[in-house]
Amino acid sequence: MRLVAIGLDHTKTPAALREAVAMSAERLAEALRRLRSQFPGYEFTILSTCNRVEIYSATDIQHADPALPKLDGIALSEFLADFHGLNPRELQAHISIYNDEGVVGHLFRVSSSVESLVLGEGQILGQVRDAYQTAASAQSVGWILHSVFQHALKVGKKVRENTGLGVGKLSVASVAVDLAREVFDRFDDKTVLVIGAGKMAELALTHLMGLKPGRVVVVNRSLARGQQLAEQFGGIALGYDQLSQALVDADVVVSTTASAEPIMKKDVYARIQKARRYRLALILDIALPRDFDDRIGQLNQVMLYNVDDLKSQVERNMAQRRGGLNAAQNLIETETANCLAALRHQRHASSVLKNLGDHADQIREVELEALFSKLSNVSEKDRKAIELMAHRLQNQLLHEPRAALRSNAKSPNEMQLSLPAAVGHLFGLGQGFAYRRNTGRKLNSGPKNKVSD
């Protein structure tokens, strides 16, 4: 069994080169098709995100044809360069190559977001799942990568749930939304006001829409730009001359302007708060320089947080995630060893299943030959009936052992069984089993065609 992977990621590869090798869904399908054609007998999965492009491959060398082209990290690198029309030398200084255990460990770290640009981010697990499903749909994965990727998805989820690596948000905008959730218990009756219409405002609205607010308002100096942003999120836009009234109506305010001076002073907002009848107001000032006078936070029923307050929470969240890093790495190492052991066990079980089938075929064919040599006058119709019965008998006798071996290959049982218990387990004895012939079953009649159990 052989596993090889290559990758270019944010730690070693310039953004321009990562963009050059990134693949759309259509290009992914084409790359998988070409890999299967160029390297028959191998399995492939490709992971392509904004921060990494990786190719995973595997084969069972026990069954590989020696005449087939061999696959290693260099061959995969050359394929990637050729696929994108690049010089292989452009990739050499930036590409990472992983083999066997290193492939499994690397994939588990990736799916757990240990190697992400943002430690503990949750998007990568979905991207790994999409890559696996795309490869499965393209029929480019076999039993090895099926096992490895399914295990990787479980490990990624387990790391996030058990180590605290995914706890807390790491962007100012997402922390602001978490803060809003702590202040208000519902948002379907709340008005959210965003001041400004730039990138920060768009990001803030993207996060805020997860709260499903009752009303969204955008106030911007350029009304046209404000309308464009508001329509994107199902809100309304107002001109800057209507800011005071918008603040009267708003429950949650996110201010993101690029103004050199504060846009709201304490005495002005004091009159606004009076007009609001002192309803609770949450103001998230994420502008630099600040948009709201700090003293506004001293007013009755006003909660004001500036960008420094939110960044402090981001730093606390990051420190908490780093605290879970050792636990995550230990879990990944354990699961890597478990996965490799399961792969070896599954491969051994597959070999035993093949040998068992071959052994039974040989016995059946020898016995049929001996029988027909004594029944020289048997008709062709009777001959086929006897061969069919022999097939049925063989498959029925081997059904339980095959099922037991396959089940154990997926979930190895460490319990040691005595020989009588092992025989009983393999053949399903002592379980109230009574053979019932499936007369509706469709079977092949030729002696060389195996009947599936």
Q: Is 303 helix (H, G, I), strand (E, B) or coil?
A: strand
Whether the pLDDT of residue 452 is over 60: the answer is no
Q: Say if CB 173 and CB 203 are below 8 A apart.
A: yes
Of 51-65, 275-289, 308-322, the least confident: 308-322
Q: Which CATH architecture has domain 2-165?
A: 2-Layer Sandwich (3.30)
Q: Which among 255, 197, 250 is positioned nearest to 227, based on CA atoms? A: 197
Active-site pick, 50, 258, 337, 421: 50
Across residues 329-340, what is the average pLDDT? 91
**Nearest 10 degrees: Cα torsion 240, 241, 245, 246:** -10
Question: Which tokens hold the place of 110?
Answer: 């990736």
pLDDT digits (tens, 9 = 90+) for 338-380: 898 888 777 666 666 667 777 778 888 888 888 888 887 888 8
Task: Calculate the CA 176 to chain-centre distance.
Answer: 27
CA angle 349–347–139, rounded 5-degree value = 115
Q: Which of 57-71, 298-312, 387-401 has the highest mean pLDDT?
A: 298-312
Q: Where are the domains of the chain?
A: 2-165, 172-314, 343-427
State the average pLDDT over residues 420-440: 54
Residue type at 122 in one-letter notation: G
218-234 pLDDT, tens per residue?
A: 999 999 999 999 999 99
- Given a cut of 70, is residue 388 above it in pLDDT? yes
Select from 146, 132, 164, 157 the least CA-distant residue to 339.
146
Residue with more model confidence, 325 or 251: 251
Q: Which fold has domain 172-314?
A: Rossmann fold (3.40.50)
When pLDDT is cut at 50, 70 and 90, the band that residue 445 belongs to is very low
Q: Give Cβ neighbours of residue 32 (< 8 Å, ≥ 6 apart).
A: 44, 46, 134, 135, 138, 140
Query: What does the pLDDT look like over 69-101, one tens digit per residue?
Result: 678 999 999 999 999 999 999 898 899 999 999
pLDDT in tens, 121-172: 778 899 999 999 999 999 999 989 999 999 999 999 998 888 877 666 556 7
Q: How many Å apart are CA 16 and CA 441, to the nearest integer?
A: 59
Q: How far is CA 324 from CA 104, 119, 123, 320, 437, in A?
A: 21, 10, 18, 7, 57
* List of residues 6+ apart from 33 with CB closer than 8 A: 138, 140
Q: What pLDDT score does 417 carry?
A: 54
Residue 13: exposure state from Cβ atoms within 10 A (0-12, 13-18, ≥19): buried
**Confidence (pTM):** 0.60
Catalytic residue list contains 50: yes
pLDDT at residue 348, rounded to an integer: 64
Q: How many CB atoms lie within 10 A of CB 221?
A: 16
Q: What angle in degrees, to the nearest 10, is found between the helix axes of 73-83 and 25-38? A: 130
DSSP codes of every residue in 220-235 = -SSHHHHHHHHHHTT-
